[in-house]
Amino acid sequence: MSDLSRRDFLKVLRTCLLYVSGALAAGGLLRFLDPGEQPPTRTEFNLGPAAAYAPGSRTVLAQVPAVLLHTSAGFKALSLTCTHLGCSLGGKSEGFACACHGSRFDREGKSIRGPAREQLAVLHTEVTAEGDLRLIKES
């Protein structure tokens, strides 16, 4: 192995510096231009076997948040996000209530006391070929 001359060492160092700085600058530029991770616009929730939800049952899904109704017409999920400003709703015997501003909704999600005017959003549900229940939330 031959000895590296001082001139060659500086040459290698300079070349390395140029490449590294160039790569970092390019990386920085790309990172600057990249808007970053966007919040998901569609979230799927696998709720497990559909058979686990008895007919007539009402199940609060805190992770969504939503309430899952198993009616004679099938599964129906109501969002538990208030249609006024988006606060989470809590269960009441006659329906749902907003802890922020006092809006009330009946058991079917219809607004019965303001300030919320619109009824609760219905979220899409489907039963997969394997018999699992899936809920899809668009945001």
Partner 1 sequence: MRIALTLAAGLLLLSLAFTWWQQSPRGEPVELTPTLSGQPEYCLTCHGDVPQISAAHALATFGCVSCHGGERLALDADVAHSSMRGGANPSDLALVEDSCGGGDCHSGSEADDRHHIQRVLTSVQSTYAGAIASMRYSFGAQPDLEARYGIAAVSDEETSTGIHSLAAFEPWNESHPLVQEFGENCLTCHLNATPREGEAFARSTGCASCHLTGEHTFSTAIPYAQCNACHNRGNYDLRTMTFVERGDEAVKRVDDYYQPIAQFTRCEYTLDCIDCHTRAEVMGDGDLHADKQSIQYIQCKTCHGTLTDLPHTRTLTDPDDIAFRLAFLNPVVDLQLGDTILVTEAGEPLWNTRVLPDGTYEMTGKASKQVFTFRPVMGTACQQNPDEQQSQYCHECHAVER
Report in angstroms how near the CB of residue 73 gets to partner 1 at its nearest.
28
Minimum CB separation of residue 128 from partner 1 in Å reads 28
139 contacts 41 by C-beta, under 8 angstroms: yes
- Give me the residues that bind partner 1 (CB under 8 A), please: 14, 17-18, 20-22, 24-25, 28, 36, 39, 81, 84-88, 99-102, 104, 112-115, 139
By beta-carbon proximity to partner 1, the closer residue of 74 and 114 is 114
Report whether 77 contacts 67 (CB < 8 A): yes
Token look-up 């001139």 returns 7
Name the β-bridge partners of 51.
none
Residues 22 and 28: beta-carbon distance below 8 Å: no
Closest CB to partner 1 among 18 and 122?
Answer: 18
Residue (56 or 86) nearer to partner 1, CB: 86
Q: Name which of 49 and 114 has its Cβ closer to partner 1.
A: 114
Q: Compute the distance between CA of residue 42 and CA of residue 115 in angstroms, rounded to an integer.
A: 28
Nearest distance, CB of residue 39 and partner 1, angstroms: 6
d(CA 72, CA 68): 13
Q: How far is CA 3 from CA 9, 14, 138, in A?
A: 10, 18, 66
Q: What is the smallest separation between the CB atom of 101 and partner 1, expressed in angstroms?
A: 6
Distance, CA of 99 to CA of 87 (rounded, Å): 7
Smallest separation (angstroms) from partner 1 to the CB of 106: 11
Residue whose CB is less far from partner 1, 76 or 101: 101
